[in-house]
């Protein structure tokens, strides 16, 4: 495999010698593209979507060269190397540039001495940084993009080598909406599979909710598989944020489940099966989102009483601070402290039904406030009579305690006849996209 790629590069290099003078732009772009396609070996984890940007930058760099300069540059021909890494909370200029394969004291000194660079690169861990380097590992260009708080746009930070030294620039730009297709096969867990497919955690959590009545994502089997189409918000072709799941398929235990997001104009959107049945439940199956922190914990009965009846509820073990969400639409009946419950939120739903969330470390809502399904109302804690951090969850009908595992069943209405044609168009498109998403995994698995 490595030999194959090197051979291809050599071949390309010899073709470059032949055609470079006549088609400098196309050829340099071709080399950049070849390097990018070899990226999994030569370049660290470069997303396929980022491919456009470095290609353009190579074009800019070579275009102004005169014929004589071109000949000279041909003699000293060197590849531009692209490397990408993620910032860490412990990062220093030295550490980050080293991981990016840069060996360039002047570049390190520039990053260390520029407050703008330090702010862009080290203010927050988890930012994706891309470096372009010469064959000698000298820095040509470095860039990072991120979404600032409470803002619809993104920021782009660039350091560039110029004849007079390095210059840094921070710009503001708008995010471009897009969609991404992905698929995965379960080997151990859902999160392991979504990591392999570079699907964000927020999308994995949505999958768990969408298929909650059909698939228990905590008990998947090896070989179960999923495909998903979701919204992305991109900066220069790099997805910085994920949005809503638009369609998804889960094959679990040999059964296939599909979901399509459909939002008629001026109405609330919801997920439907391809036949038009609603996947919406009056109540979510869990008041704790399926997440990387909570995925290892299952809901449990009281260890001593061992039944919801004597205990009046179900406990969800999760670390302090884990978000607690309302399982249904409603209004806050009570938000405050009640002796044994500690900090508790009680929400009133339709048909004289109530849900209660106790032992909270934090309360985010006030009595009388309107709440939508899935809204965060507080955080897991151990206030009141609790031996350790957990969420105590109750379901009451006309003030009587009911088994919380029995409540999630009633669903939303199916697609109406008048909306059926519009829905069918969306559903057909979704099926095509999901099939395409599965073929992506076929290709990469081969």
CB of 367 to Zn ion, least distance (A): 23
Verify binding: residue 394, Zn ion, rule CB under 5 A.
no
Q: Which stretch binds Zn ion (CB under 5 A): 30-38, 144-152, 314-322, 416-424?
A: 314-322
Here's the x/- map for Zn ion, 31-50, by CB under 5 A: it reads as --------------------
Nearest residue to Zn ion, scored by beta-carbon proximity: 392
DSSP labels, 389-429: SEEEEEEEETTEEE-GGG-S--BPPPPPTTTHHHHHHHHHH
Does 315 participate in binding Zn ion (rule CB under 5 A)? yes
Helix, coil or strand: residue 4: helix
Closest approach, Cβ 313 to Zn ion, in A, equals 5
136 by DSSP, 3-state: which? Answer: coil
Would you say 39 or 389 has its CB closer to Zn ion? 389
Verify binding: residue 392, Zn ion, rule CB under 5 A.
yes
- Could you write out the DSSP letters of every residue in 205-274? HHHHHHTTTT--GGG--TT-EEEEEEEEEEETTEEEEEEEEEEEEEEETTEEEEEEEE--TTS--EEE-T
Nearer to Zn ion, 141 or 392 (CB): 392
Specify the residue, 201 or 315, whose C-beta has the smaller distance to Zn ion: 315
- DSSP-assigned letters across all residues of 28-79: HHHHHHHHHHTHHHHSS---GGGGHHHHHHHHHHHTT--HHHHHHHHHT--P
Which residues contact residue 161 at a Cβ distance below 8 angstroms, ignoring those fewer than 6 apart? 107, 138, 139, 140, 141
Number of chain positions touching Zn ion (CB under 5 A): 2
Nearest distance from residue 359's CB to Zn ion, in Å?
A: 8
C-alpha distances (whole Å) from 53 to each of 50, 57, 61, 193, 306 are 6, 6, 13, 28, 58
Which range in 22-30, 116-124, 194-202, 315-323 contacts Zn ion by CB under 5 A? 315-323
Shortest distance, position 98 Cβ to Zn ion, whole Å: 50
Q: Which is nearer to Zn ion, 349 or 392 (CB)?
A: 392
Least separation in angstroms between CB 368 and Zn ion:
26
Stretch that binds Zn ion, among 29-37, 51-59, 154-162, 311-319 (CB under 5 A): 311-319
Question: What distances in angstroms separate CA 441 from CA 28, 228, 436, one per listed residue?
Answer: 30, 12, 9
39 or 404, CB closer to Zn ion? Answer: 404
If phi > 0 it is left, if psi is from -120 to 50 it is alpha, else beta; for residue 352 that is left
Report how far residue 353's alpha carbon sits from residue 231's, in angstroms, rounded to the nearest whole number.
34
Q: How far is the CB of 309 from Zn ion (least distance, A)?
A: 12
Give 117: exposed, middle or buried? Use CB within 10 Å, 0-12, 13-18, 19+.
Answer: buried
Roughly how many angstroms between the first and final C-alpha of the chain, as a whole number? 14
Q: Measure the CA angle with vertex 218, ends 216 and 223; round to 5°.
A: 80
Cβ proximity to Zn ion: between 248 and 386 the closer is 386
Segment near Zn ion (CB under 5 A), from 53-61, 184-192, 289-297, 390-398?
A: 390-398
- Candidate segments 19-27, 95-103, 386-394, 405-413, binder of Zn ion by CB under 5 A: 386-394
Minimal distance in Å, beta carbon 191 to Zn ion?
27
State the minimum distance, in angstroms, from the CB of residue 315 to Zn ion: 4
Tell me the closest approach of the beta carbon of residue 125 to Zn ion, in angstroms: 35
Map the footprint of Zn ion across residues 125-184, applying CB under 5 A. none
Query: How crowded is the C-beta side of 10, counted as CA atoms within 13 Å?
Result: 6
**Which of 91/315 has CB closer to Zn ion?**
315
DSSP SS3 for 126: coil
> Among 10-18, 54-62, 254-262, 392-400, which window interacts with Zn ion (CB under 5 A)?
392-400
- Least separation in angstroms between residue 365's CB and Zn ion is 21
| Comparison of 234 and 315: residue with beta carbon closer to Zn ion | 315
Query: Which residues of the chain form contacts with Zn ion (CB under 5 A)?
Result: 315, 392
């Amino acid at each position: 495999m490595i030999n194959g790629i090197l051979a291809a590069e050599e071949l390309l290099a010899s073709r470059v010698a032949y055609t470079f003078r006549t088609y400098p732009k196309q050829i340099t772009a071709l080399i950049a593209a070849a390097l990018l396609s070899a990226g999994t070996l030569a370049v660290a984890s470069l997303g396929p979507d980022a491919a456009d940007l470095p290609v353009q930058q190579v074009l800019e760099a070579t275009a102004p060269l005169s014929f004589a300069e071109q000949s000279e540059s041909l003699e000293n021909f060197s590849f531009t190397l692209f490397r990408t890494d993620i910032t860490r909370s412990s990062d220093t200029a030295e550490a980050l540039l080293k991981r990016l394969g840069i060996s360039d004291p002047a570049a390190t000194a520039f990053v260390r001495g520029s407050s703008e660079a330090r702010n862009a690169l080290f203010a927050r861990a988890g930012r994706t940084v891309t470096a372009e380097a010469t064959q000698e590992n000298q820095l040509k260009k470095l860039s990072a993009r991120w979404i600032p708080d409470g803002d619809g746009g993104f920021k782009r930070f660039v350091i560039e080598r110029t004849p007079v030294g390095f210059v840094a620039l921070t710009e503001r730009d708008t995010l471009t909406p897009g969609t991404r297709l992905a698929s995965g096969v379960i080997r151990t867990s859902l999160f392991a599979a979504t990591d392999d497919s570079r699907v964000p955690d927020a999308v994995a959590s949505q999958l768990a909710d969408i298929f909650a009545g059909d698939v228990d994502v905590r008990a998947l089997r090896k070989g179960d598989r999923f495909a998903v189409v979701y919204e992305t918000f991109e900066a220069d072709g790099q997805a910085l944020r994920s949005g809503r799941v638009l369609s998804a398929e889960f094959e679990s235990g040999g059964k296939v489940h599909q979901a399509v997001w459909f939002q008629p104009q001026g109405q609330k959107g919801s997920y439907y099966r391809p036949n038009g049945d609603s996947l919406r439940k009056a109540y979510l199956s869990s008041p704790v989102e399926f997440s990387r922190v909570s995925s290892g914990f299952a809901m449990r009965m009281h260890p001593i009483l061992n039944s919801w009846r004597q205990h009046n509820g179900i406990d969800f073990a999760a670390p302090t601070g884990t978000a607690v969400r309302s399982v249904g639409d409603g209004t806050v009946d009570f938000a405050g402290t009640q002796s044994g419950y500690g900090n508790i939120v009680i929400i009133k739903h339709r048909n004289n039904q109530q849900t209660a969330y106790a032992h909270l470390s934090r309360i985010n809502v006030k009595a009388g406030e309107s709440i939508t399904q899935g809204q965060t109302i507080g955080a897991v804690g151990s206030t009141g009579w609790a031996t350790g951090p957990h969420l105590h969850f109750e379901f009451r009908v006309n003030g009587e305690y009911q088994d919380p595992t029995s409540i999630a069943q009633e669903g939303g209405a199916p697609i109406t006849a008048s909306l059926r044609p519009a829905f069918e168009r969306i559903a057909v498109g979704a099926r095509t996209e999901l099939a395409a998403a599965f073929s992506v995994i076929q290709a990469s698995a081969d």
